[in-house]
Chain A
Amino acid sequence: GGGSGSREAVERLVRAHPVVVFMKGSPAQPLCGFSNAVVQILRLHGVEDYRAHDVLQDPDLRQGIKNYSNWPTIPQVYLNGEFVGGCDILLQMHQNGDLVEELKKLGIRSALLDAEKDQDKK
């Protein structure tokens, strides 16, 4: 396919890593509050190794990712190549424990599990 926003190009990106995020800005410097929320939630779980794509750098990708997921907004979180949702859904998953479970399925142990263990010792 042609162009960074094509279905084929996006498919390659979402499958490149267990955790892929399309956001505004970068994890080191998010440029939107909702993108920042995604970065912070992943950080809380100790997930620092993931692919992040700054859609502000690539208008074709910015539109292409919305076409691919049929979802109108950024950020977008993909786990194991599957679209999970945006910031609100990730926050909900974080609050209800689903994110810990989904990360476990990817072979990623959430840092929060260790944090809980430490608390139990006190």
Chain B
Amino acid sequence: RSFASQTDGEARVTRVLREKFPRASAIKVVDISGGCGAMYEIHIESEDFREKRTVQQHQMVNQALSEEIKSMHGLRIFTSTPKP
């Protein structure tokens, strides 16, 4: 899907992640609720996650999106670190 067809929700979540993870090398946010803003799939690659357990990495994303999550039904998080 082209960048231009991003939903408002996807854009907002992406913006928040860019602010909270300035070191992120890749961020992808996909509304998987058919555009309803109810459920998102988040992929984020950042040095911030290095040496941290997956659950800690996901907690960092949860904290960053604590406001946005309140209006979500669910979210899926996939974190990774850049190849050294």
A34 touches B (CB below 8 Å): yes
Give the shortest distance, in Å, between B8 (CB) and chain A (any CB). Answer: 21
Q: Are B55 and A83 in contact (CB under 8 A)?
A: yes
List of A residues within 8 angstroms of B74 by Cβ: 34, 73
Q: A85-B54, A89-B54, A92-B54 are in contact. Are A71 and B59 (CB under 8 A)?
A: yes
Instruction: Digitize A80-92: 1 where CB-to-B-CB distance is under 8 Å, 0 elsewhere.
Output: 0001110011001
Dominant secondary structure at the A interface? mixed
Q: How many residues of B contact A (CB 8 A)?
A: 12
List of A residues within 8 angstroms of B76 by Cβ: 88
- Choice from A34, A70, A84, A88 contacting B77 with Cβ under 8 Å: A88
Cα(A88)–Cα(B66), bound, Å: 19
Instruction: Digitize A58-90: 1 where CB-to-B-CB distance is under 8 Å, 0 elsewhere.
Output: 000000000000111100000000011100110
B58 touches A (CB below 8 Å): yes
Give the shortest distance, in Å, between B79 (CB) and chain A (any CB). Answer: 10
Q: A72-B69, A73-B75 are in contact. Are A89 and B62 (CB under 8 A)?
A: no
Residues of A within 8 A of B (CB): 34, 70-73, 83-85, 88-89, 92
The 9 A-B pairs of least Cβ separation, nearest first, read A85-B55, A72-B69, A89-B54, A88-B76, A73-B74, A72-B62, A89-B55, A92-B54, A88-B77
